[in-house]
Chain A
């Protein structure tokens, strides 16, 4: 029985990302879906005879920006090609893609492994148009061309990923780049980012690549890891049983319900796409001026933002990692920080978001960003804590209220709820302190004998009696005063 380290895993990922341009790649129809079928269509994306593809300038710019963000070469001249295959979701029965001369080549991203940073090479990235959607019913299938012609970028990695977790890290990095440059929301629930994985396994030391199995259309990082690990195990098991076995190249689908892989087709019946230069689209020339402009306007990428959080805001590595995973979250964090007393509140704010509020959201079965709590409110909460208007404990209760009533500000919650009103007036606290001292003479003795624990106990009792509202500083001061004066 071999172990995993006897085997060299070879994984390549092809990631398809939907760009967030206003219109489709070659058609001026709106690039939005979800409406009634066949609404967002034009003569072009429905493949009407006599129609001609018109390349979207914004899609080209987003492709260039992506290339710049992954340190790639931007092809000064690239071209489009027809990829022929017949399927009902394809209005022309050919896709327009970039097979021969893609717009982006030879880039890389870095992923953080446990104790190192790995450079993942990107062979190429190109533009292509999406197909329509099929809706399956029992006696027929309905075709909807709303999505037909939507702009996609396909990013092809070198087969240099060595494990399912590396593949997931890489895919997450790609997702974050698209979010950070504002080229796509890359929302996987909405199918805006889809992954195909190519996996082969060979004994360590072998240099020739063995046949690979392709798993298509994976739409979650979790399933990506599951599917890849399953396939790795399967291939190892086959080779272990028969070292001379030849695994047929095939294409599979991952069933997320059954959590199994099913073969779609074997290589013998592989499609011949008959790639041909697209005669309707002149070669795409990218001017130096465009590259310069897009380089200057390249937004801060995740890596840079993480470093900024660590260096300038003094956040921990973990906090920076979590907050920057989704650009929307990082933006939220910074906006909330602007409502805090200063940037020194960053750590406190980070904790409150990633621990307190994340936890509450998870309990409510939601993602934090969909709780609708405005950044301003969280900022206010932090401010109230920092200027000691409320205690940490009260803040937690307020947080609970904010989850239930996201549009109510913490100040309002405090005002509406006398229980949350801070108690910092010594005149009110003093009688309570007196009472506690009377009730716990042994603690006074303990304190006199130098037991610090006794003091803490007394503080705790006062806090309990005031339901946590008493200002800890005032309690401390009063207790000290009384105990000292009692000597």
Chain B
């Protein structure tokens, strides 16, 4: 995709919540551009009437049937202490994060 720019990369960083170093950004832009140029070949294939691949296709095998739905019965719980063990910052049983501000802008 010849018009993939560093601005577009920055926008992706915002969406993916990853902040890259400045020098990384040029490299990444280049890399992504290369890949996107490569995948452009897919437009050669006519797919107007082609269905989308879905999980159903995995089941199209002899003797394959889908997993039944889970019954509504309480099951294996994660103990609070085990959960919090991996949490970097915690307080009083809660995960602790910097204060989340409420939106303040007035309607206008």
Contact = CB atoms under 8 A, between A and B. Distances in A.
B93 A38 contact: yes
Nearest to B91: A142
Contact of B75 (A23, A88, A143, A234): A23
Nearest to A29: B77
B107 A263 contact: yes
Interface residues of A, number: 56
Interface stretch (A204-212, A276-284, A302-310, A337-345): A276-284
Contacts of A145: 83, 95
A28 B80 contact: no
Nearest to A213: B107
Contacts, number: 138
B39 interface: no
B50 to A, nearest CB: 16
B22 interface: no
A207 B67 CA distance: 48
A58 B70 CA distance: 9
Given A41-B80, A272-B15, A30 B97 contact: no
B69 A140 contact: no
B107 A141 contact: no
Nearest to A93: B17
B73 A28 contact: yes
The interface centre, meaning the residue of B17, B52, B84, B99 with most chain A CB atoms within 10 A of its CB, is B99
A277 B96 contact: no
A244 interface: no
A264 to B, nearest CB: 4
A282 B96 contact: no
Q: How large is the interface on B (under 10, 10 to 19, 20 to 34, 35 or more residues)?
A: 35 or more
Contacts of B59: 282
Which of A23, A30, A79 has its CB near the most chain B CB atoms (within 10 A)?
A: A23
B107 A144 contact: no
B54 A283 contact: yes
A49 to B, nearest CB: 10
B44 interface: no
Contact of A38 (B54, B73, B80, B98): B80
Contacts of B104: 262
Contacts of B94: 37-38, 135, 142-144
B51 interface: no
B99 A41 contact: no
A470 interface: no
Contact of A141 (B54, B72, B92, B99): B99
Contacts of A481: none
A263 B106 contact: yes
A36 interface: yes
Interface string A451-486: 000000000000000000000000000000000000
Contacts of B72: 21-23, 56-59
A249 interface: no
Contacts of B98: 140-141
Contacts of B99: 136-141
Given A261-B107, A274-B15, 14 more contacts: A22-B72, A30-B74, A37-B92, A56-B69, A56-B72, A135-B94, A141-B100, A144-B95, A145-B83, A263-B106, A265-B103, A279-B55, A281-B55, A282-B67
15 contacts: A37-B94, A39-B80, A41-B77, A41-B83, A54-B70, A56-B72, A57-B70, A137-B99, A141-B100, A142-B91, A144-B94, A250-B107, A252-B107, A277-B54, A281-B55
* 4 closest Cβ pairs, A-B complex: A28-B75, A142-B94, A58-B72, A57-B69
